[in-house]
A and B are shown apart, each in its own frame.
Chain A
């Protein structure tokens, strides 16, 4: 009788324990979407964990990272705009100081081979240093940021939870931010579900025709499925008043003058304005550019010089179909995913 009683108690406790475990283990770590290539981020030196990711998210939305504690990474990378700075040609940072470029999206960064419009940063773990220390962005020093975090009431314990030590190191700080950023995967557009052959998902006739045009006229640079080949190209936009020389600033090779990184077209309905300096406010304006406004500036990309005049010829009908296809690259779930929002 006694023995049976104890067995029952053990089973009951075991059962409860198992239930509790299930609740705890809801965190889903980084997963490669089935229709995506292998990521390039070095997960071997930064294992994603729930605590690391949550710490990274808190840091991403932390205003202590700026000189006067007013702005965070999330100020210029807004989730509802696919982590870009909607409504601004060039982004404004601390004290509304203007930069020279439009903030790129925090999206699918685990596949990025370099960061920034000019590719000046090759490792995501080193990326955060640039906006934090830039005079027109957060204008803070790295030693100050770490000192503020070390003196805060919350962060030492959160770093201990995530990395096993409450001593806040440069490496742990940057890797926590990376953990949050690589988790920001956008892979649930209509295009993705169709490519994954999900039941009941297919292009409309118009979208399919647009897709065919896309493959013929855009896919060289905006390569599927990431919709960028991560290369640097001059797409023939006029040279800006600040004469931003793009990739040349990094390589200091004349052949790289006026080249910028090819941006992904994913979520393009939410990431306006377009180009490195946000000069085009609508997709229509971008297509106008490619159809009739491409200019012969130094190092204009050869793929834009194949016809009698530079650019990509597009009929009105082709434009309508192309835009219909491009709309299928929007991933609304990414914009509303609570995991990526300020908590």
Chain B
């Protein structure tokens, strides 16, 4: 009888020990289970939050401007785990349209785990750009969400739009429209403005993804870097960009506009 009681106490003690060990040790991930990971694209201009239509900013060549639209595709997300393995988000759920004032998040469904790096494509890859129309649904529907992000005359998606006004634009309405696109062409090579972004997440906080909790990777996206970079864009020189070739300097610039700010675990 007494022996039995001891056994029970021992069992309870052992159980408590394990439980406390578990608490103090690394989080146990079930890599077979998937959980939500959101990626927030927080548009800014230099050191300030992007404010459409009202705030005035200045580019590297000293021209002042206002932004009326900032919209871009992010797609083909990949995440690197602490053990170095890479998880590729299935393509059919890996396209997002980010628009200032409308949508700033890409919601991913990824295996539980801790991740050290994220990569994604700005734009729509050549495979999807040449895919059968029946596969272009949701944000890729040229008669739906993509209606204003699609060139009909030169079949292909517009990857990024930055539009606004600048007194430096000579036209009466002072409007500038910078549209970037071009996936490399169907059969003849054409300019390719697809950019793959890879960001380290270790310095500013790794996301620890687990079911029943929220995890958010917060990225800062600097609209000023669409304009400033290896080519400093001038509104006086070029007010309208509506085809792949003149969009090349834009794409080279905006390849550097993303940075990891922090992670909310």
| Residues of A that sit less than 8 Å from B by CB | 42, 45, 113-114, 116, 120-123, 125-126, 129-130, 132-134, 141-143, 145-146, 169-171, 173-175, 249-253, 256
A selection of 17 A-B contacts at a CB cut-off of 8 Å is: A120-B153, A121-B154, A123-B132, A123-B155, A129-B152, A133-B152, A134-B153, A141-B147, A145-B143, A170-B144, A171-B134, A249-B154, A250-B188, A252-B245, A253-B188, A253-B189, A256-B188
Contact B132 A122 (CB under 8 A): no
Q: Give the CA-CA distance A71 to B57 in the complex, in Å.
A: 45
Residue of B nearest to A142 (CB): B143
| B258: A residues at CB distance < 8 A | none
A-B residue pairs, 10 tightest by C-beta: A142-B143, A252-B245, A122-B186, A170-B143, A129-B152, A171-B134, A130-B152, A120-B154, A125-B133, A171-B133
- Interface set of B (CB-CB < 8 Å, partner A): 130, 132-134, 136-137, 141-144, 147, 150, 152-155, 185-191, 243-245
Chain A residues with CB under 8 Å of B150's CB are 129
B156 to chain A, nearest CB (A): 9
Residues on A with beta carbons closer than 8 Å to the beta carbon of B186: 114, 122
- In the complex, the answer to whether A173 meets B143 with C-beta atoms within 8 Å is yes
B243 and A143: CB pair below 8 A?
Answer: no
CB-contact partner of B130 in A122, A132, A173, under 8 A: A122
- Residues of chain B within 8 A (CB-CB) of A116 are 153
| Alpha-carbon distance A169/B143, docked complex (angstroms) | 9
| Tally of A-B Cβ pairs under 8 angstroms | 82
- Complex contacts, B188 vs chain A, CB 8 Å: 250-251, 253, 256
A249 touches B155 (CB 8 A): no
Give the residue name and chain of the A residue nearest to B141 (CB): A170
Contacts of B185 in A (CB 8 A): 251
A116 to B245 Cα, complex, angstroms: 20
On chain B, the residues within 8 Å of A129 by CB distance are 142-143, 150, 152
Q: Which of A45, A134, A173, A250 lies in contact with B132, CB distance below 8 A?
A: A45
CB distance from B141 to the nearest CB of A (A): 5
The one of B133, B137, B144, B244 that contacts A126, using a Cβ cutoff of 8 Å: B133
Contact A251 B187, beta carbon cutoff 8 Å: no
A175: B residues at CB distance < 8 A? 133-134
Known contacts A143-B143, A249-B243, A252-B243; A170/B152 CB under 8 A = no
- How far is the CB of B146 from the nearest CB of chain A, in Å? 9
Residues of B within 8 A of A146 (CB): 143
A141, B149: Cα distance in complex, Å? 12
A116-B153, A122-B187, A145-B143 known; A170 and B132 CB under 8 Å? no
Q: How far is the CB of B193 from chain A (nearest CB, A)?
A: 12
Other A-B pairs beyond A113-B187, A116-B153, A123-B155, 10, CB < 8 Å: A42-B132, A114-B187, A121-B153, A122-B130, A123-B133, A129-B142, A134-B152, A146-B143, A171-B132, A252-B190
B134 touches A45 (CB 8 A): yes
**Closest residue of chain A to B185, judged by CB?**
A251
Q: Which A residues are CB-close (under 8 A) to B130?
A: 122-123
Smallest beta-carbon distance B184→chain A, Å: 11
Chain B residues contacting A125 (CB-CB under 8 Å) are 132-133
CB proximity of B126 to chain A, nearest CB, Å: 12
Central interface residue in B137, B188, B190, B243, by most chain A CB within 10 Å: B188
Q: How far is the CA of A113 from the CA of B186 in the complex (A)?
A: 11
Whether A250 contacts B142 by the Cβ 8 Å rule is: no
Output the least CB separation between B119 and chain A (Å).
28
Chain B residues in 8 Å Cβ range of A145:
143
Contact indicator B152/A252 (Cβ below 8 Å): no
Question: In the complex, A173→B143 CA distance in Å?
Answer: 10
Q: In the complex, which residue of chain A has the Cβ closest to the Cβ of B140? A: A170
The residues of B that contact A251 with a CB separation of less than 8 Å are 185, 188-190
The interface residues of chain A lying within 8 Å CB-to-CB of B144 are 142-143, 170
Give Cα A175 to B136, complex, Å. Answer: 13
A126 touches B143 (CB 8 A): no
Bound form: Cα–Cα A272–B190 in Å: 32
**In the bound complex, CA of A174 to CA of B144 (Å):** 13
CB-CB under 8 A from A141, the residues of chain B are 147
A70 to B186, CA, bound (A): 34
A116-B153, A126-B155 in contact; A170/B133 too (CB < 8 A)?
Answer: yes
Which interface residue of B136, B143, B188, B245 has the most chain A CB atoms within 10 A? Answer: B143
Closest to A141 in B: B147
**Complex formed: what's the CA distance from A129 to B142 in Å?**
8
A125, A129, A175 — most chain B CB neighbours (10 Å) = A129
Nearest CB on A from B244, distance (A): 6
Chain A min CB distance to B130 (Å):
7
Cα–Cα, bound, A249→B136 (Å): 25
Rounded to whole angstroms, the CA-CA distance of A133 and B152 in the bound complex is: 7
Q: How far is the CB of A121 from chain B (nearest CB, A)?
A: 5
